[in-house]
Structure 1
Amino acid sequence: MKNINPTKTISWKYLKNHLKEMKKITINDLFKIDKNRFKNFSINFENIILFDYSKNFINKKTLHYLINLAKETKCIDAIHSMFYGKKINITEKQAVLHTALRYNRNYDNYFLKNQEIYNNIDKILKKIENISNNIILEKWKGYTNKKIKNIVNIGIGGSHLGPLMITKSLQSYKNKLNLFFLSNIDSNKLINIINKIKPEESLFIIASKTFSTQETISNALSIKKWFIKNINTTFNKNIFSKHFIAVTNNINAAINFGIDEKNILPLLSEIGGRFSLWSSIGLVISLSIGFNNFKKLLQGANKMDHHFFSTPINTNIPIIMALISIWYNNFWNTETEAIIPYCDNMCFLPLYLQQLNMESNGKSIDRNGNKIKYQTSSIIWGDVGTNGQHSFFQMLHQGTKLIPCDFIATAISDNKNYKDHHTKLIANYIAQTKALAFGNLDTFSCKENLYQCCFGNKPSNSIFLKKITPYSLGLLISYYEHKIFIQGVILNIFSFDQWGVELGKKIANFLVKNIDRNIQNLTQYDCSSQGLINFYKSFN
C-alpha cells in the first residue's frame, strides 16, 4: 500500500473549500434541486440489499471530490494487495487473509496464487462440517452416551462478538442446540451458565488465537475444574475429548490444556480476531444454524468481495460508505456514527461493528510513523429501533450534535403471522430517516411552539435488506469490513493490528501477580493505582 497523508492531497483541499459551500445547503434543498436524487444516490445490489445514501450532505461535486480522494490515496491498489495476499499488516509482518476464507470454489481464478492456503482452509471447513453434522445429528455423544444439548463458546473479542452477533441475527435458522457465550471474566457470568447446564450434555469450545488470553483461559480453567468435579465417574482423557474442543493457532498450548489433538481446529495466523467469524471461530455458528447455512454465510460475503474488488468506485458500496464516513468525521467534525438496526435479532450488530471499526482504525500514528493530526476512527454506537426512538433519538432530532446514522431493516419479516407488527416497524424505520432529514418545518410553525420544532437536516444512510438470511447477512458484514478497510487505507493507518489492546493485557497480567502478594503498599505504581489496589485488598 502507498503511504499517503490524505490531508496533503489535492482532493482534501478541494473538500475543505467545498465544505463551506455545502454548509449553506440543507438536505431539503438537495432534494428540491435534484428530483431524481434517490435514483442518483442509491445502489440496489442484486435486489438483496438497497443502499440509499441520498439523505446526506453530498451532491455530485462532493462525490466527485471524494472519489478522487480514493484515487489519490491508491485505494484500488490497496484492495488488490489485500486480496492477492500481500503482507499489508506491516507491524505484524503478515498478509490479511479473511477474504480467502470465503473463496468461491466455482471460480477458476482465485485471488491468492497459493493452493496450500486454500487446501488448509478446505481441511478446516471439512472439520467444521464433520463436527457440526455429528453433533446436530446426535452421533456425537457425551461420556454417559447422552446427546449433546448445550454448546458453550468460551472466547472474548473477535472470538466472541462475531459468532454472538451472527447466531443471534440468524435466530430463525437456529436448531435445537442451546447456545451459551462465556466471555467476561466476571464470575457472575460463569455461574449463570453452569447453573443452567449439565456436564454430560454439554460441549465446550475454547476459542483463542493465542490460547493465552487471560479472560478466556481463566474461564476455560474454571469450566474444566467444574466439569471434573461434577462428572459421575473417574476423570480421564477420553471423557474430556467428548466435551472439549479448541479453536486456536497455538496447538501445543491447547494440547497441554488437555484438548485431544483431533478436537483442535487450527486458526490461521493471518486472520485477525475481529475478522475471524468466517474461520474455525465460526464453528459455533455452524453448530447453531447448520453447516449448509454457514456455507451460505460465506457465499454472501464472497459475493460482496467480488463487488468490492471489481466494481468502479462510483458504484462501489463499501468505498462510498467509507468516503461518506470520512467526509463527516474529518470535515463536519461529527466524531461519531450510530448504527440502528430495525430488527431485534440484530441487537448485537452495533456492538460488533463498534469493535470492528474502533479496534481497526482507532489509531493515532500513520503508516509513515508520524503522529496524526486528523481524525481516524469514528465512535461507533447504537441500539435497535424502535427502542432507540424512546431513548437517544431525542438528541438525534433536537440535540446540538450532528450524528450520522446507518438505519438497517429487512423488507420481509421472519414472522408471517405478525405482518402488522412488521409494517409498523418499517413505518418507524422510514419515518425516522425522513424526520431527521426534513424535520417538521413544512407542517409546523416554530413561532407557535419553539420547543416542538425539529429543524431536520440530520444525515443518514438507509440499508434495506430483502430478508435476513445467512447469504444476505454475509453480504452485509462483508461490506462493513471493506468499508472499514478503505477508511484505514485513505487515512494512512494500519487497520489490522491492535497494540493498544495488548498493553492493557500486559498491565493486567502484571497486576494480578502483585495484587495476590501480601504487600500492603505497592510503591512501584502511581498513587491512584496504588490507592485502588489498597482499597481492594482491604476487603480481600
Structure 2
Amino acid sequence: MDLLADFREFQALQRHREALKDFHLRQALGDRDRHRAMTIRIGEALFDFSKHLATPETLSLLIRLAHARDVAGWRDQMFSGAAINTSENRAVLHTALRAEPSADIRVGGVNVMPGIADNLRRMATFCDQVRRRKTSGATGRAITDVLNIGIGGSDLGPRFISEALRDVHDGPVLHFVSNVDGHAISRALAGLDPETTLVIVASKTFTTEETMLNAAVARRWLVAGLGERADLGLHLVALSSAPDKAAAFGVKPERIFGFADWVGGRYSVWSAIGLSVMLAIGPERFASLLAGARDMDHHFRTQSFEKNIPVMMGLLGVWYRNLWDMPAHVLLPYDDRLARLAKYVQQMDMESNGKAVGRDGRFVGCGTGPVIFGEPGTDSQHSFMQLVHQGQVIPADFIAVIAPDHDLADNHRSLLANCFAQSRALAIGQTLEEAGGDTGRIFSGNRPSTTILLPQLDPYHLGLLLAAYEHKVFVQGIIWGLNSFDQPGVELGKKLAKDIVAGMAQGTVAAQGDCSTAGLIAAALYSDGREV
C-alpha cells in the first residue's frame, strides 16, 4: 500500500496548503453565500462547515484524495459484510444492528438480519417485563435498580446514552461500574438493595479481567444479601457471546443476550450491549435511537461526497492533522446532557485510529488519530478555552440543541449565545485596535470549527449524531490506510498486567529488565523500603 505522501492528490493538497498562507476566516466569512454553500442538512439537523480553513478548491482536492484512497469502495465493502477487519478476518457490521429488518446482509453466505431481529425482540420482551415490574428477584420484590458492569464499549456507550436521554427515563434506575478500582464497585453497591437489584455483566468473551473481577464482587454481594440458597439467576443478566461461561456464572439461558464477533466493542451500543439503555427508555425509544443511526447510514451511503456529512467531517480532520500538523480535536457540546460525548467519541476515535501500522503491516508514515478531548459549554469556557483561543490551534466541534427540555428560556438563550459567540471568536479573533491597544487581548482568530445544531435531543437525533462520528472515524481510517477495528495497544497492556498481577499475588516482582516497574511493584508490596 502506497504511503499517503506518495499520492499525487496529497501532494496537490500540500501545494494548496502553501497557497492558503494568507487565508483568514475574518475575510472569508464576509461572503454571505459561504454559510449556505458549506452547510449540510439531514432532516432538521444542521452541520455548518463554513468556519473551516477551506475554500471550494480545498474541498475538491480533499474529495479527490478520498477517491484515490477508495473511501467509497471500502464503505460499500463494510456495509456488505466483507471482512474489512483484516487483522482478525472479520466483517464490521455494527450498521446491520440498526438496518431495516427486511435487509439482506450476509456473512459467510448467511443473512444476519433474522438473528438481529430475534435478539431485539428478546431484549424488548425482557425489558417490558422488568419495566412493568412483572419481573421479581429471589424474594419476590420487583426490580427497581440495574447495575451494568462492563468496561470500554460495554460501559462508555450505554452510560453516555443513558445519561444523554435521562429526561425520558421511565424504567428502573441505572448504575454503572467499569473501573477495576474497588472503590467504584464498593460505592455502587453501597446504595443498592440486593433484593431489588438486577446485575448486568457485559463482556463479549466473559473473560474481560476488570469486568469479571467486578462481577465476582457483585455476585458475592448478592449471596451475602440473599443467602446461599437464593436463586441468584433472577438477579443476573449476561451480554456475551460466550453463553457457556455466562451459564457457569449462574446466568439463566433466557437471560443471556449475545452478539456476533463482527460487533466491535466501541460500536456495540446498538447491540445487546444497549440493554441497560432499553431498560431505562423502553423498546420504542430504543428503536428510535436505531432509526436515527440508520438514517445517517443511508446518508453516508448515498450522498455525494460534496454533501456527505461524515465524509466532510473526516476529510477536514485529515486536512488539519496531515496538512496543518494539528494533533488534537476538541468537542464542545453546549448541552449538559451531552457531558460524556467527548469521552465516548474519544474511545471510538483514538482506539480506532490511534495507530502507526497500516492494514498491510507497514508503518503508515503520517500522523493518524488526533487527541480527542472536550467538556460541555459553558464550563469549558472557564477551563481550557483560553488555550484554544490563544494557544495551540485546535479544531473544534460545537454541538447545540435548539429546543431544550426545560422552560428556562433565559438560560437557554444564554447557552446558545455563548456557543455561537465562541465559534465566532475562534474564527475572527480580535485585533489590537479592537482590543483597545491591549496586546494581551489580541486573538489571532482563523481557528477552525464545525457547528452542529440538533432540533432537539431525543433518541432519534442522538443516534443520528453518533453514527456521523462513527463514519467520520471510518473515513479517516481509510485515508490513513488503517484497520480501524482492532486494538493491539489494549491487548499489550492486558498481557503485561497478567504477568505482574500473578507475581504480586505471590509476593514477587515480575518486571525483568525494567528497574522502574520493578521498583514500583516493590514499593506496593513491601513497606520496609527494600529495593529489588
Same fold (TM over 0.5): yes
Aligned residue type for 2:410: D
Q: Deviations over 1:446-488 (max 9, x none)?
A: 6x21112222111100001010010000100001000000100
Note if contact 1:4-1:73 (Cα within 8 Å) is conserved in structure 2. Answer: no
Instruction: Report the residue type matching 1:258 in the other structure.
Output: G
CA distance in structure 1 between the partners assigned to 2:33 and 2:180 by the alignment: 53
Amino acid in the other structure paired with 1:353: V
* Residue from 488, 512, 515 that aligns with 1:524: 512
Task: Provide the C-alpha distance between the structure 2 equivalents of 1:234 and 1:26, rounded to a whole number of angstroms.
Answer: 71
Does 1:308 find its partner at 2:300? yes
Matches within 5 A, 1:151-162: 151-162=146-157
Aligned to 1:352: 344
Query: Which of 412, 437, 450 in structure 2 is aligned with 1:422?
Result: 412
What code does the residue aligned with 2:145 have?
Answer: N
Aligned to 1:136: 131
Listed as ranges, the matches of 1:227-266 within 5 Å are 227-231=222-226, 233-236=227-230, 239-266=231-258
- What is the SS of the residue equivalent to 1:466? strand
Paired with 1:523 and 1:158, the residues of 2 have a C-alpha distance of 30
Report the Cα distance in structure 2 between the residues aligned to 1:430 and 1:4, rounded to whole angstroms: 41
Aligned to 1:485: 474
Matched, 1:147 2:142: yes
Task: Give how far 1:176 is off.
Answer: 4.5
Distance 1:329 1:220, change over 3 A: same
Residue 12 of structure 2 aligns with which residue? Answer: 14
SS of match in other structure, 1:434: helix
Q: Distance in 1 between matches of 2:278 and 2:308?
A: 30
Find the counterpart in structure 1 of residue 197 from structure 2: 202
Going from structure 1 to structure 2, the CA distance change for 1:427 and 1:445 (only over 3 Å counts) comes to closer
Q: CA deviation at 1:11?
A: 1.2
1:452 and 2:447 equivalent? Answer: no
Aligned-residue offset at 1:111: 4.8
Residue 394 of structure 1 corresponds to which residue in structure 2? Answer: 386
Does the aligned pair in 1 maintain the 2:87–2:359 contact within 8 Å?
no
Contact 1:246-1:263 within 8 A present in 2 as well: yes
Structure 2 Cα separation of the partners of residues 174 and 499 of structure 1: 37
Q: Secondary structure at the match of 1:20?
A: helix
Deviates more, 1:432-441 or 1:349-358: 432-441
| C-alpha deviation, 1:326, in angstroms | 0.3
The residue type equivalent to 1:422 in the other structure is H
**Counterpart secondary structure, 1:91:** coil
CA distance in 2, matches of 1:53, 1:85: 32
Equivalent AA in structure 1 for residue 252 of structure 2: D
- Among 160, 163, 167, which residue is 1:165 paired with? 160
Please name the residue that 1:441 is paired with: 431
Cα pair 1:319 1:482 within 8 Å, conserved = yes
Q: Distance in 1 between matches of 2:511 and 2:377?
A: 50
Contact 2:238 2:246 in 1 (8 A): yes
Q: Distance in 1 between matches of 2:515 and 2:229?
A: 47
Cα distance, 1:229–1:311 mapped onto 2, change above 3 Å:
same
Q: How far, CA to CA, are the matches of 2:432 and 2:42 in structure 1?
A: 33
Alpha-carbon offset, residue 178 of structure 1: 1.3
Change (3 A) 1:444 1:71: same
Separation (CA, whole Å) in 2 of partners of 1:313 and 1:522: 53
Q: CA deviation at 1:294?
A: 0.4
Opposite residue 125 of structure 2, the aligned amino acid is N
Paired letter, 2:99: Y
The residue number in structure 1 matching 2:22 is 24
2:371 equivalent in structure 1: 379
Counterpart of 2:399, as a letter, is I
Shift of 1:522: 4.5
- Contact 1:154 / 1:183 at 8 angstroms: preserved in 2? yes
Once the two structures are superposed, what CA deviation does each residue of 1:308-328 show, in whole Å capped at 9, x if it has no partner? 011111100000100000000
Query: Separation in 2 of the partners of 1:442 and 1:528?
Result: 50
SS of 1:411 mapped into structure 2: strand
Structure 1 residue 442, shift from structure 2 partner = 8.7
The separation in 1 between residues aligned to 2:511 and 2:179, in whole angstroms, is: 30
The match for 2:87 is 91
Q: Deviations over 1:20-54 (max 9, x none)?
A: 1112111112223x33000111111112x100010
Among residues 319, 333, 336, which one is paired with 1:327 in the alignment?
319
Amino acid paired to 1:228: V
Rounded Cα–Cα distance in structure 1 between residues aligned with 2:201 and 2:171: 21
Residue among 283, 290, 300 paired with 1:298:
290
Change (3 A) 1:442 1:129: farther
Query: Any gaps of 5 or more consecutive residues in structure 1?
Result: none
Q: Distance in 2 between matches of 1:60 and 1:406?
A: 20
CA distance in structure 2 between the partners assigned to 1:266 and 1:524 by the alignment: 40
What letter is aligned with 2:512?
Q
Q: Distance in 1 between matches of 2:112 and 2:18?
A: 50
Whole-angstrom CA distance in 1 between matches of 2:39 and 2:232: 54
How far did residue 131 of structure 1 move? Answer: 1.1
8 A Cα contact 1:100 1:112, kept in partner: no
Cα distance change of structure 1 residues 18 and 539 upon mapping to structure 2, 3 Å threshold: same
Counting aligned pairs with the same residue, the percent is 36
**1:71: which partner in 2?**
67
- Normalization by structure 2: what TM-score? 0.97
Q: Distance in 2 between matches of 1:182 and 1:523?
A: 30
SS in 2 for 1:301: helix
Q: C-alpha deviations, 1:86-112, integer Å up to 9, x for none?
A: 00001001001100000123xx55454
The alignment status of 1:432 with 2:393, answered yes or no, reads no
1:371 Cα deviation from its structure 2 partner: 1.3
Q: Residues 490, 334 of structure 1: CA spacing in aligned structure 2 closer, same or farther, 3 A cutoff?
A: same
Match for 1:418: what amino acid?
L
State the partner residue of 1:62.
58
Unaligned segments of structure 2, at least 5 residues: none
Partner of 2:99: 103
Is 2:398 aligned against 1:407? Answer: yes
State which of 331, 350, 353 in structure 2 corresponds to 1:361: 353
Letter in 2 for 1:157: G
- Alpha-carbon contact 2:401-2:454 (below 8 Å) kept: yes
- The alignment's C-alpha RMSD in Å is 1.5
- Of 285-294 and 248-257, more deviation after overlay is shown by 248-257
Q: What CA distance in whole angstroms lies between the structure 2 residues aligned with 1:226 and 1:525?
A: 41
1:420 CA drift (Å)? 1.2
Within 1, Cα distance between the matches of 2:421 and 2:137?
A: 52
- Work out whether residues 141 and 148 of structure 1, in 8 Å CA contact, stay in contact via their aligned partners in 2: yes
* Structure 2 counterpart SS, 1:384: coil
Determine helix, strand or coil for the equivalent of 2:522. helix
Match of 2:35 among 27, 38, 41: 38
Distance 2:63 2:105 in 1: 25
Shift of 1:117: 1.1
Q: Which amino acid aligns with 1:370?
A: R
TM-score by length of 1: 0.95
Determine helix, strand or coil for the equivalent of 1:90: coil
* SS of structure 2 residue aligned to 1:337: strand
Match for 1:410: what amino acid? V
**Contact map agreement 2:432 2:441 (CA 8 A) in 1:** no
Change over 3 Å in CA distance of 1:445–1:529 after alignment to 2:
closer
